């Protein structure tokens, strides 16, 4: 025993030992910082977007007949190149916008990728709620002659999750990089139309997703959470605008 403990009363020594042996109380979990989740405090309500989304065409309606005519035409018109292009949008990956920007987005600025992805997760939550309410079957489920050229999906059809994701991602990136706006929006549209080309969605699913995405994007970009995030990543945006030596690539239609 250390010499100074010999000067203490036995009861006090026992108390000190007990204090030392008792486990420390667990620390309270730290609240997530805005830097970890830039959407902290953002409020989006699915009911606010029901009107802009509308309802899908009813079974047997003229709207559904138009949808089916387009799907059957695209099925007959598919080419190996068009199928490969649709596959390139299978994963919802922000790297798909790199050619539109002229830089490797995933490597050049991971902070932008993490932040934009956080906002897109909030969009997914709203979209999933509305998709479950509307419960439109996929076209290949309701019409056996339609043969998708992408892996089958088991979720509902309206609105298209991929089309919504790509359209909102394009709008958010365009707000950060207005110099590349038209190129980014082109990729965003292609990400949606690929779902029609390969028969996973009706055209009206994608058109509704575009309206839905425009409304969501306006609200996101106007939010204090997005404005704060944009200010945080502003210093790194200039390096994304330096094109390759051969210039910006031509985007496929």
Is the pLDDT at 123 greater than 50? The verdict is yes
How many angstroms separate the CA atoms of 59 and 85, rounded? Answer: 30
Contact at 8 Å (CB) between 123 and 216?
Answer: yes
Nearest residue to 77 via CA among 199, 191, 187, 201:
199
How many angstroms separate the CA atoms of 172 and 170, rounded? Answer: 6
Q: What is the DSSP letter of 145?
A: T
pTM, full prediction: 0.85
Q: Is 184 left (phi over 0), alpha (psi -120 to 50) or beta?
A: alpha
How many angstroms separate the CA atoms of 196 and 160, rounded? Answer: 10
Query: If pLDDT is split at 50, 70 and 90, which confidence band does 17 have?
Result: very low
Q: CA neighbours within 13 Å on the CB side: how many for 173? A: 37
Question: In the chain, what percentage of residues exceed pLDDT 70?
Answer: 86
Q: What is the DSSP letter of 109?
A: -
pLDDT of 27: 45
Residue partners of 96: CB distance under 8 A and separation at least 6: 88, 89, 166, 187, 191
pLDDT of 138: 97
Lowest average pLDDT, out of 26-35, 92-101, 124-133, 234-243, goes to: 26-35
**Alpha helix segments (H runs only) across the chain:** 10-21, 50-53, 62-77, 80-87, 98-101, 105-108, 110-134, 139-142, 161-176, 181-197, 203-222, 224-233
pLDDT of 34: 52
Count of residues in the chain: 253
Contact at 8 Å (CB) between 133 and 61?
Answer: no
Cβ atoms < 10 Å from Cβ of 232? 15
pLDDT of 252: 76
The mean per-residue pLDDT over the stretch 74-79 comes to 96
Contact at 8 Å (CB) between 213 and 104?
Answer: no
Contact at 8 Å (CB) between 167 and 209?
Answer: yes
**Of 12 and 69, the one with more pLDDT:** 69
Q: Is 3 helix (H, G, I), strand (E, B) or coil?
A: helix
pLDDT of 202: 97
The mean per-residue pLDDT over the stretch 11-28 comes to 39
Is the pLDDT at 160 greater than 80? The verdict is yes
As assigned by CATH, the class of the 58-79+92-241 domain is mainly alpha
């Amino acid at each position: 025993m250390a010499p100074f403990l010999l000067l203490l009363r036995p009861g006090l020594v026992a108390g000190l030992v007990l204090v030392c042996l008792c486990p420390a109380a667990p620390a309270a979990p730290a609240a997530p910082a805005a830097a970890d989740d830039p959407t902290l405090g953002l409020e989006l309500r699915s009911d606010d977007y029901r009107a802009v989304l509308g309802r899908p065409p009813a079974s047997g309606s003229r709207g559904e007949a138009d949808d089916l005519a387009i799907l059957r035409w695209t099925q007959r018109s598919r080419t190996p190149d068009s199928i490969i292009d649709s596959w390139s949008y299978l994963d919802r990956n922000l790297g798909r916008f790199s050619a539109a920007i002229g830089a490797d987005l995933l490597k050049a600025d991971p902070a932008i990728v993490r932040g934009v992805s956080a906002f897109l997760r909030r969009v997914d939550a709203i979209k999933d709620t509305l998709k479950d309410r509307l419960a439109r079957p996929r076209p290949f489920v309701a019409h056996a002659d339609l043969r998708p050229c992408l892996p089958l999906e088991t979720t509902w059809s309206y609105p298209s999750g991929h089309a919504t994701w790509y359209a909102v991602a394009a709008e958010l990136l365009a707000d950060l990089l207005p110099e590349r706006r038209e190129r980014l929006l082109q990729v965003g549209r292609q990400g949606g139309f690929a779902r029609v080309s390969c028969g996973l969605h009706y055209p009206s699913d994608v058109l509704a997703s575009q309206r839905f995405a425009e409304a969501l994007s306006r609200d996101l970009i106007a939010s204090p959470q997005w404005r704060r995030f944009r200010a945080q990543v502003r210093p790194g945006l200039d390096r994304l605008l330096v094109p390759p030596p051969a210039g910006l690539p031509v985007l496929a239609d």
